[in-house]
Structure 1
């Protein structure tokens, strides 16, 4: 299990014990790949039993690839720090792999009662072009991930969709019916319409093969976030 991290100490305090409790003894390791946190993320992750790795590049694709290089297990599971997998996640993933589903993700719901976000999450059940975003988490056989040469590190944004696009060229991609829970914090810090427009803009530019750095700059400017 690999968690990319940047200043996520509060989430790691919850996520790592959660994964250990509900991993049902099936998790061989939890790797936190840090991009240069200025808080206590690394110290907290280590104290909770996770293996910590510091990436020299603050880029999620680089961090995830670095974590995969240290992974010893035959199945990789990439999870964002503000995500809480289904309590049966480990068993479900293992059963899916045993049934021949070598790669896939979960549908999700938000940790919010917002009706608009319930609409958003409803669409994550479909295995269409928008499936496979990082918030849905990703499980994949390590041998298959290695054959794809991992995430494309030139993507500082949309690295998840770029990988899934290559996955679909070589394998079936699966969206499992179980729900995981993702944070609504991005919506809480701005508004639903602005985030939707930013997401649509980023995905459209990705399909048009615009340079990732340009997509990221426009995305952050639209959300009034720092780089």
Structure 2
């Protein structure tokens, strides 16, 4: 039976050559059911776009920054549902069935629960807190594969041009229209970032940035803090 929606999966990328092929191969069943996958590249110099092109419906060039890239992908998307997926995140096999339930609902937008790929017990604890926080507040982060009806996205003029917290800011505006439709079956996000920079260091950094954002600090200032912390962790 034909599905009650058309889906555009939009993936912002920058220098993702190491993993983009695996990411896109996992999405081929979705393309096989007449939905589209759009990769938005921000000038990668490692061949990301070339690797992506045979495995997606369109590669779009964009200025760097997830907000700008996701808006660029949405501008050319054909689907009436837009799903924004990080390059290191995998959708569950039953994603389309859950999205069909969303399409029949009266919600404006939604997100998945998240699970981190690492085997350490602390990753299960982190994911539990992320999902619990999202359910209580309605706020979604990019790791949770946010999806939104196209007409709602366009009515809100998409993501605001911010270097950080664009997903949190957009969630706040979406929550004024409806609570999110929550899909319990999780997406799986690579725990590499947590392992590379240190689990507790990353937790502290994320909560510190979010707290300062809620206190009114500018995303530009927070982006500088984030970049500085990542550089120090890499030394």
Q: TM-score range by the shorter chain?
A: over 0.9
The alpha carbon displacement at 1:130 in A equals 7.3
**Is 2:91 the counterpart of 1:81?**
no
Query: The residue matched to 1:214 in structure 2 has which SS?
Result: helix
RMSD, aligned CA: 1.6
Match of 2:16 in 1: 8
Residues 1:27 and 1:119: Cα distance change in structure 2 (over 3 Å):
farther
Deviation, structure 1 residue 137: 0.6
1:102-113 superposed matches below 5 A: 102-113=108-119
Where does residue 159 of structure 1 map in the other structure? 166
Trace 1:36-75 onto structure 2 (pairs within 5 A): 36-55=43-62, 57-75=63-81
CA distance in 2, matches of 1:79, 1:103: 14
Is the aligned partner of 1:179 residue 2:179?
A: no
Q: Please state how far the C-alpha of 1:105 moved relative to its aligned partner.
A: 0.5
Which contiguous aligned blocks of 4+ residues in structure 1 show a shift greater than 6 angstroms?
Answer: none
1:150 Cα deviation from its structure 2 partner: 0.1
CA pair 130-203 structure 1, distance change in 2 beyond 3 A: farther
Is this contact kept in 2: 1:3–1:78, CA < 8 A?
Answer: yes
User: Do 1:16 and 1:50's aligned partners in 2 also have CA atoms closer than 8 Å?
Assistant: no
- The question of 1:212 aligning with 2:219 is answered yes
Contact 2:138 2:171 in 1 (8 A): no
Distance 1:73 1:107 in 2: 23
Q: Distance in 1 between matches of 2:67 and 2:166?
A: 6
Q: What TM-score does the superposition give when structure 1 sets the normalisation length?
A: 0.93
Q: Which residue of 1 aligns with 2:127?
A: 121
Distance 1:75 1:131, change over 3 A: same
Consecutive unaligned residues in structure 1, runs of 5 or more:
none
Counterpart residue number, 1:91: 97
Contact 1:206 1:212 in 2 (8 A): yes
State the match for 2:6 in structure 1: none
The 2-side partners of 1:133 and 1:195 are apart by 15
Given that 2:114 and 2:144 are in contact with CA atoms closer than 8 Å, whether structure 1 keeps it comes out as yes
The runs of 5 or more residues in structure 2 that have no matched partner are 1-8
Q: Secondary structure at the match of 1:9?
A: coil
- Count of residue pairs brought into register by the alignment: 223
Secondary structure at the counterpart of residue 112 of structure 1: coil
- Is 2:196 the counterpart of 1:192? no
1:224 aligns with 2:231: yes
